Amino acid sequence: MRASELPLFTSKDDPSDAQVVSHRLLARAGYIRKQGSGLYAYLPFGNIIHRKIEQIVREEMDRAGGVEVTLPVITPAELWQESGRWDIMGKEMMRMEDRHGVGYALGPTHEEAMTDLARSYLQSYKQLPINFYQIGKKYRDEIRPRYGLVRCREFTMKDAYSFHTTDESLDETYQKMREAYRAIFERCGLKTIPVEADSGNMGGSGSEEFMVASSIGEETLLLCSDEKCGYRSNQEKTAFIENTKRGGSTALTDRSLSAVEGRIEDFDTGAAKTIEDVAKLTGQNPRDFVKAVIFEDKEHIYLCFIPGDRELSEIKMKNLAGATEYWAASEETIKALTGAEPGYTGPVGLKFSDRDVVSLNLPTGDGKKALRIFYDAHLKGREGLITGANKTSFHKKNVAEGRDFKVTDGHDLVNAHAGDLCPQCKKAELTETRGIEVGHIFKLGKKYAEKMQVSVLDQTGKPLTPTMGCYGIGVGRTMATSVEQNHDERGLIWPRNLSPFMVYLVSLVKGETETAFVDKLYETLQARGISVYLDDRDERAGVKFNDAELVGFPFIVTVGKKTLESGKIEMKLRRTGEKLELTEAELMEKIL
RNA sequence: CGGGAUGUAGCGCAGUGGUAGCGCACUUGCUUUGGGAGCAAGGGGUCGUUGGUUCAAAUCCAAUCAUCCCGACCA
């Protein structure tokens, strides 16, 4: 292509709202343009890259036995109601009605739609396993679109859904998808870290995310420092094992409760509510506190007690409680629950027990919410604790678990961090890094197949509910993360497999014979299967060189008066900046 | 939805009450031509929207919309 046919959309200034390098460079180099919050137009070069990523995904999915289909973006509410997600998906799902008042959603994901397709088609175990996939637009009304293509409200996703008669068969496809994903990201020139993940509201068991390490990553990953162990997981999922070498343990390991010293007593802490403040007051370690974290939803109050030096994992809490839309408890709720101002909640002397109904003075509804109390298992056996006294301005000290309150079924409720023990080898410490999720594979199980009544006949003629897997890749996000990993101060640096063109041909010549030389080189390169972008604009050399570096194709070839005289063609490697003077034959060889 | 900020020409920005400006980009001409050229002449804005205060509003006030940043969602 020539610049006269396929124009550049480069700009000298960064858009004022671009925060991250991928957004800044993609916008400045004319690959994308924002049209609204989380909504992006793909300009010609951006469109080519998007298509190339799609093609790589398609090839690897086909190789792994996937079957491509295309589902409507607009999904009937009926299907969501059938699975029970019409309510669960909440505000994130863009909803609409047609002229008859029938409800629809712009598909944020397609489990329901694909399961519906599958049930109409699947009759027999002989048709299984099958792995349907599509590459199409998804819509999510994100709370906060961010970071350009990393977090959009409209984005292209490859989503695949597999159906199986047995867990073994699901596992086989799951492993195939794992391999396909590795191949896809490798071809895209991305270094990914596969990690164990939480399966969110998709339901199901096994789940792995493909992460790209990046400082703008919105995920925290925990990696075992022992490479032989190789444990890697998303913090949402990482089981917390305290490293006793680091924190002094007060756990009752060798002693019985009768040996616990010190009487429990209230003491006045005045305005000091936070653990930090009270710790300063008493000189005790935050670890010796019990932290209370309180959430509520429409029907419940969730009261969680955790070690004072840790933060609650909302994901773990959510999974445990089964809450979908919840929020931090209001001051009124906390007062009704504890009889005290917020900041003084503790497990001892609480008026309510787990599953009690708490009466609240609410403007709507009957004002009653069921209380759920959860304890973090790490509180088990601790003594000498400081807790809220459920009395404004007072805390309790010398609190002992087992004597003053009891952790019945304890749960893992807190986030693991760097320095904690690896849950797999239980020896090495964990390290932390930030990551962007570019792909995710799940074992979904039978949740959707059951709710939507998918059934095939097995060998004996009995109905069987298939088990499912689902596998997603964000196409635009893959593009953005590739830029995050491949750029310099001058602009983009595309890996060969993604670059819109292999060669940026800078023509600095005028005159018929000279132009003919450039045209011939342009033709020759293309005849050898090398894609070339010929900058034939009437611009000065500096403008062309700068644009060539900004748009970031792997090879920048320059033809000017000097090179014509010497018979040597100048080539610059975009990634290294290395400059070469080559004959035409050497040039071809170098590029191919 | 809570907290903070911004909205003025295609892009980046200045403009604290007296009828709107700079740089880049764009158009035309001349010169220049291997790292974002120079000179000259041009075109382009109901200052996000609505209402208010005022003799007078981009500027002050109110509402509203949009965008961005910090916290809760996910590819």
Both A54 and A80 in a single domain? yes
* pLDDT on residue A198: 75
How far apart CA A239 and CA A196 sit, in angstroms, is 11
Strand partners, A583: none
> Of A483, A509, A526, which one is at a domain's C-terminal end?
A483
Q: What's the CA angle centered on A561, arms A557 and A562, to 5 degrees?
A: 80
* pLDDT on residue A319: 80
Both A104 and A187 in a single domain? yes
Determine which of A90-94, A164-168, A477-481 has the lowest per-residue pLDDT on average.
Answer: A90-94
* pLDDT on residue A498: 97
Question: A537 CA to B37 C1', in Å?
Answer: 16
Q: Is residue A286 part of a domain?
A: yes
Strand partners, A157: A136, A474
Both A290 and A376 in a single domain? yes
Q: Which of A49, A23, A3, A43 is nearest to A548 (CA)?
A: A3
Contact indicator for A387, A282 with CB cutoff of 8 Å:
no
Q: What is the pTM of this model?
A: 0.91
* pLDDT on residue A259: 57
Torsion, Cα of A176, A178, A181, A186 (10° steps): -110
Q: Is residue A243 part of a domain?
A: no
Query: Which window residues (547-576, chain A) lie with Cβ within 7 Å of strand B?
Result: 547, 549-550, 558-563, 570, 572
Spell out the residues 6+ positions from residue A236 whose beta carbon is closer than 8 angstroms to its own.
A197, A198, A219, A313, A315, A316
Region A131-143: what's the mean pLDDT? Answer: 95
Per-residue pLDDT tens digits for A364-381: 556 788 888 999 988 888
Query: Which window residues (257-316, chain A) lie with Cβ within 7 Å of strand B?
Result: 314-315
Distances in Å between the Cα of A198 and the Cα atoms of A182, A209, A328, A401, A421 are 20, 9, 22, 30, 19
Count helices and strands (H / E) in chain A.
15, 31
Q: Is residue A316 part of a domain?
A: yes
Both A137 and A263 in a single domain? no
Q: Is residue A247 part of a domain?
A: no
Both A361 and A290 in a single domain? yes
**Strand B within 7 A of A482 CB:** no
pLDDT at A201 over 60: no
Q: Tokens 């049209």 appear where?
A: A35
How far apart CA A460 and CA A454 sit, in angstroms, is 17
Per-residue pLDDT tens digits for A17-28: 898 999 999 999
Both A583 and A451 in a single domain? no
Q: Where are the beta strands (DSSP E) in A190-343?
A: 193-196, 207-213, 219-224, 232-234, 265-268, 290-296, 300-307, 327-328
Both A463 and A551 in a single domain? no
Nucleotide nearest to A12 (CA to C1'): B24
AA identity, residue A265: E
Q: What is the CATH number of the domain that holds A47?
A: 3.30.930.10
Above pLDDT 90, what percent of chain A? 60
Q: Is residue A493 part of a domain?
A: no
Domain range spanning residue A555? 501-591
Nucleotides of B under 7 A from a protein CB: 1, 11-13, 23-25, 32-37, 66-75
Query: Which window residues (246-265, chain A) lie with Cβ within 7 Å of strand B?
Result: none
* pLDDT on residue A279: 83
* pLDDT on residue A199: 63
Classify the C-alpha dihedral A495-A499-A502-A505 as positive or negative: negative
Q: Is residue A317 part of a domain?
A: yes
| Burial of A341: CB neighbours in 10 Å, binned 0-12, 13-18, 19+ | middle
Torsion, Cα of A225, A230, A235, A237 (10° steps): -140
Q: Is residue A14 part of a domain?
A: no
Question: A314 CA to B1 C1', in Å?
Answer: 18
Retrieve residue A452's tokens. 């939507």
Both A300 and A449 in a single domain? no
Both A112 and A161 in a single domain? yes
Contact indicator for A375, A347 with CB cutoff of 8 Å:
yes
Q: What is the CATH number of the domain that holds A517?
A: 3.40.50.800
Confidence band, pLDDT 50/70/90 cuts, at residue A247? low
Both A219 and A104 in a single domain? yes
Query: Which window residues (361-390, chain A) lie with Cβ within 7 Å of strand B?
Result: none
Per-residue pLDDT tens digits for A331-369: 788 888 888 888 888 999 888 888 888 887 665 556 788
* pLDDT on residue A504: 98
pLDDT at A399 over 70: yes
Per-residue pLDDT tens digits for A429-441: 999 999 999 999 9
- In degrees rounded to 5, what are phi and psi of residue A75? -110, 135
Q: Is residue A104 part of a domain?
A: yes
Contact indicator for A571, A555 with CB cutoff of 8 Å:
yes
Query: Which window residues (66-95, chain A) lie with Cβ within 7 Å of strand B?
Result: 92
Q: Which of A180, A240, A167 is nearest to A206 (CA)?
A: A167
Both A326 and A463 in a single domain? no
Q: What is the pLDDT of chain A when averaged over all its residues?
A: 90
Long-range contacts of the stretch A271-277 (C-beta < 8 A, 24+):
A271/A393, A273/A341, A273/A342, A273/A343, A273/A344, A274/A343, A275/A308
* pLDDT on residue A366: 63
Query: Per the structure, how many domains does chain A have?
Result: 3
Per-residue pLDDT tens digits for A462-514: 999 999 999 999 999 999 999 999 999 999 999 999 999 999 999 999 888 99
Both A519 and A554 in a single domain? yes
Confidence band, pLDDT 50/70/90 cuts, at residue A402? confident
In our burial notation (b when 16+ CB lie closer than 10 A, e otherwise), range A567-585 reads ebbbbbebeeeeeeebeee
Report the 3 state secondary structure along A516-540. HHHHHHHHHHHHCCCCEEEECCCCC
ipTM: 0.93
